[in-house]
Amino acid sequence: MSFLAYKTKLKLNNQQKTLMRRCAGYNRWLWNWGLDLKQKAYAEGIKLNKSQLRKFYTNHVKPLYPWQSSLSSKIYQYAFIDLDEAYKRFFKGLAQYPRFKKKGKSSNSFTLDASGKPIMIGGHRHKLPFFNWLKTYEKLPICSTKKVTFSEEGGDWFISFVIEVDFLPTEKLVDKVGVDLGISKLATLSTEVIFENPKAYAKALKRLARLQRDLSRKVFQSHSWYQTKLKVRLAHRKVADIRSNGIHHLTSYLAKNHGAVVLEDLNVKGLMKNRHLSKALSDAAFGIIRTQTEYKCERYSSELILADRFKPSSQICSNCGHRQKMPLSVRVYSCPECGMKKDRDLNASLNLQSIVAGSVTLRSVDGVLPTVPCEADSKRQSSLSSFG
């Protein structure tokens, strides 16, 4: 059994947005009230736990604030649970001492449940506690969850929840694949499948660069500066979204269709020192690819092999083992020993494919290349993280 965490943007009308903000404001009020009371009680030598807080609040405080009864009572249950957790993390040394939430500075969020009943999610419209029907931009798989959290980011509202899932091992088309993570291309596989960086990505990057130039020419904090600033933020998010989708696409394809996946264990930090490469490398997000491949391989019962990062997979001939210098500008590997000519990245991926877990020697690849249809799974991933 694994857990999948979803977070996706809500499609709200103004009335719903106002209600969301009121709920988040209530949550902030409760947190601050609870924190204040806990501190005062502690000064008197009394430790208040979450159920004592809740009892005191419902019997003696809530009746004083009529506006609070129009909002969901789930909000205060979770506010006190969150406060309790914050204290626990503090005492374990995992977090700072809980602080008061400030309007506009702290994150706007709150959590609801359906009193133990499952909350059904699926499609574009979802029946949720307190709000009744709410829409998401993204079509969600049919599933159920126990609680949902709403949060605001830059004026947009998001819903997040966790579902339990059983992943069945998938049928593997190829025993083993070598993956060369690239700069111009996202990935080249030893099966000759290539994952290009999406065209939309380059376009979004260009737009972002243009907007950032625009912003630098505006008068700081003027009306049009704020307008452009908002556009820059949205463009940033678009770039991140496209990149994230592309990476999910690649890593799902790898884990689902291959018995073993060989990735280069790149020393990203070392590479980052090279200024020319660093932008492109961080864009290709090697670290994220590795983490995702790791948990997805576990999910679909395939093996992840990390190749020694000092092994020069691009310098060695995948056919005969000859080694030569390969500057980045040389795009084709031409072997003077055996006459093999192959795309530089494909040659590197074939070297990776021939690596056996734990071994450090390269052997030549013989036989015919396995072929797979060049279509990656088209299921759109909205999961941001996974654990379990």
CB of 123 to Zn ion, least distance (A): 55
Count of C-beta atoms within a 10 Å radius of residue 24: 22
DSSP-derived secondary structure letter, 273: T
Beta-sheet pairing, 383-387 with 2-11? antiparallel
For Zn ion, give the closer residue by CB, 341 or 379: 341
In the numeric block, the tokens 């700072």 are attached to: 96
CA count, 13 A, side-chain hemisphere, 94: 6
Give CA–CA dist 307/295, Å, rounded: 17
Using only the alpha carbons of the chain, give its radius of gyration.
26
Token readout for 191 is: 């099966």
Name the residue nearer to Zn ion (CB basis): 35 or 317. Answer: 317
Q: Which is nearer to Zn ion, 30 or 350 (CB)?
A: 350
Q: Which amino acid is at 155?
A: G
CB 351, min distance to Zn ion, A: 11
Phi, psi of 212 (to 5 degrees): -65, -35
- Our separate counts of H helices and E strands in the chain read 9, 14
Specify the residue, 320 or 369, whose C-beta has the smaller distance to Zn ion: 320
Smallest distance from the beta carbon of 323 to Zn ion, in angstroms? 10
Give the residue with the Cβ less far from Zn ion, 17 or 322. Answer: 322
CB of 260 to Zn ion, least distance (A): 25
Cβ closest to Zn ion, residue 34 vs residue 178 = 178
**Given the rule CB under 5 A, which residues bind Zn ion?**
317, 319-320, 322, 335, 337-338, 340
Q: C-beta of 320: minimal distance to Zn ion in Å?
A: 3
Residue 170: CB partners within 8 Å, gap ≥ 6? Answer: 256, 257, 300, 301
Task: State which residue, 196 or 337, has the beta carbon closest to Zn ion.
Answer: 337
Cβ at position 375, least distance to Zn ion in Å: 32
Nearer to Zn ion, 144 or 315 (CB): 315
Q: 2 forms bridges with which residues in the sheet?
A: 165
Nearest distance from C-beta of residue 363 to Zn ion, angstroms:
13
Q: How far is the CB of 341 from Zn ion (least distance, A)?
A: 10
- Which stretches of the chain are DSSP H helices? 14-43, 50-56, 74-91, 199-217, 223-257, 268-272, 275-284, 286-299, 344-353
Q: What is the Cβ-side half-sphere exposure of residue 108, based on CA atoms within 13 angstroms?
A: 18
